Amino acid sequence: MWELTKQFRFEAAHTLKGTTFGEASEEIHGHSFRAEVTVRGTPDPATGMVIDLGLLQRAIEEVRLTLDHKFLNKIEALGTPTLENLSRFVWERLAHVGKLSRVSIHRDSCYESCTYYGPQT
């Protein structure tokens, strides 16, 4: 079994109400995010690949454009723009690619990350 991980970055702003950070969190503020998308499987005997990285890259680029330089609170399908919801949101938009194992969202400047494992098929 192999796991293959591809990363992408995006910049976005949000507000979060009701946290212990108080006003600092409630004001519009931005972060640099790094996402890791991991697929898991056995390489296809014909191609030698778990997944065609070109197909994965195209799907990732669509998600990145949805999030990059956006106000996350306005993305209805995301819900409250937490790390938890971001990781689930990315998973749901990449599920059609297949073989997803996990999606992690990092805010490296805050030393925070969240990993979503989603429904395993």
Closest CA to 117 of 6, 38, 35, 5: 38
Do the annotations mark residue 69 as ligand-binding? no
Do the annotations mark residue 14 as ligand-binding? yes
Beta bridge partners of 115: 104
Please report which helix (H) or strand (E) contains residue 57, including its range: helix 53-67
- Residues annotated within the binding site for Zn(2+) are 14, 29, 31
- Residues annotated within the binding site are 14, 29, 31
